[in-house]
Structure 1
């Protein structure tokens, strides 16, 4: 194996780096995209230089017209800064245009992460369409909607309880995401497929398990508030409550 092949193999198989990149991946309507800011950060180049490079692509106008690249602006401390959003094709094309030792150390991992995110998005869409034809899944999904609404209301109530215990308000309630992630983690459910909820992409028995777990968490939140228990360590309390929930 040549030195070049060893380098490629090293970066393609770097799972930690790929997983790190996927965690920061952005999505529009379930489709992955990247910003020029992200690319500049990962490849350790100046963002202004990257914007200039992209604008100098001979195919820049065509990429814009096809909406593979979109021009955006963000405001920081009252000042406007331009950036680009790139779909999978434009992202890959841009990555291939970046050279240098530092760039090469990220290029393979970044491309593999984007491919995996795209594959996840496609798999989620296929699963959703398949589930829509399954009557058991439809019934479980409809029942789950009302349970999820009950849980959301209970989390809102718990958030107010936590604010009183904390002695000050939250800028935004952290418990919606924290409790939801704790439930899915306890059930061993993969929530990395962005653009779709687990209820959309998993089979009827897992949808039923989610509902069962959510009902148990509603009970737990009620118990904590009635007994004036602590808001802290809610993930561990959920883990104990859901210890014997079966998703098989």
Structure 2
């Protein structure tokens, strides 16, 4: 059982421990920990913010009460735990909370970067489609040019066809593959789409573009 975990809906996550985990680590009965929480002389606002009532099922399937406790809530609760062993567990808990808070910050930073790259990607795709409209000669097959380049880019970047990627990520109808990519993958995608746009702008055809971007990808892999 982990000392702490990240819980909550997206963008509203918190780092918490549970009253059961506290009971186990401090070698106390869970009922005694629940009683200690109930006896804390905290304001209703503090209690609501830092002790979330939850439940779990025991081995028999019976549902029982527990609390999910924040770092501040744990600090308040643990004040009453004394002894050398209790001191060691308090220190371990604080370290675990700090480490998980750093992980949560990393997750938030990654999400923010993902949003930025996703929006940038939309602009880059507009550039690619506009370049195709202006530079590729009109023909009955012109409507296939953009999807063909997109499939080519996916194949070169990820080593899989578009359909294989859809299966890998279990993408439903009307969902976008790009919503399943990381911010780094989105950035790679933007860079290659910009490169393809530039080459089309020079008047290059599909096979020339394909050959060049394959060479560029190979150079990156061996560098």
Give the alignment's TM-score, normalised by structure 1: 0.47
1:1-248 correspondence to structure 2 within 5 Å: 21=2, 25-29=5-9, 30-59=13-42, 61-64=44-47, 66-76=48-58, 77-134=60-117, 138=121, 149-152=166-169, 199-200=181-182, 202-204=183-185
- Residue 74 of structure 1 deviates from its aligned partner by 2.7
> Which has the larger displacement, 41-50 or 90-99?
90-99
Alpha-carbon distance in structure 2 between the residues aligned to 1:148 and 1:33: 35
Could you say if the C-alpha distance between residues 36 and 206 of structure 1 is closer, same or farther in structure 2, counting changes exceeding 3 Å?
A: farther
Give a deviation string over 1:173-193, Cα, whole Å, max 9, x none. Answer: xxxxxxxxxxxxxxxxxxxxx
- Residue 95 of structure 1 deviates from its aligned partner by 2.8
Aligned match of 1:235: none
- The structure 1 segments of at least 4 consecutive aligned residues displaced by more than 6 Å after TM superposition are 142-146, 205-208
- Residue 146 of structure 1 deviates from its aligned partner by 7.0
Structure (1 or 2) with the larger CA radius of gyration: 2
Alpha-carbon distance in structure 2 between the residues aligned to 1:67 and 1:148: 42
Alpha-carbon distance in structure 2 between the residues aligned to 1:147 and 1:94: 51
Q: What is the root-mean-square deviation of aligned Cα atoms in Å?
A: 3.9
Give a deviation string over 1:147-201, Cα, whole Å, max 9, x none. Answer: 6541255xxxxxxxxxxxxxxxxxxxxxxxxxxxxxxxxxxxxxxxxxxx9954x
Could you say if the C-alpha distance between residues 148 and 31 of structure 1 is closer, same or farther in structure 2, counting changes exceeding 3 Å?
A: farther
Give the alignment's TM-score, normalised by structure 2: 0.51
Give a deviation string over 1:68-89, Cα, whole Å, max 9, x none. Answer: 2112233332534221111232
- Asked whether the 8 Å contact 2:55–2:65 carries over to 1, the reply is yes
- Asked whether the 8 Å contact 2:23–2:29 carries over to 1, the reply is yes
3-state SS of 2:82 partner: coil
Give the paired residue count.
Answer: 146
Could you say if the C-alpha distance between residues 136 and 101 of structure 1 is closer, same or farther in structure 2, counting changes exceeding 3 Å?
A: same
Could you say if the C-alpha distance between residues 101 and 71 of structure 1 is closer, same or farther in structure 2, counting changes exceeding 3 Å?
A: same
Unaligned runs of 5+ in 1: 1-19, 154-196, 209-245
Could you say if the C-alpha distance between residues 135 and 59 of structure 1 is closer, same or farther in structure 2, counting changes exceeding 3 Å?
A: closer
- Asked whether the 8 Å contact 2:169–2:180 carries over to 1, the reply is no
- Residue 207 of structure 1 deviates from its aligned partner by 7.4
- Residue 92 of structure 1 deviates from its aligned partner by 2.7
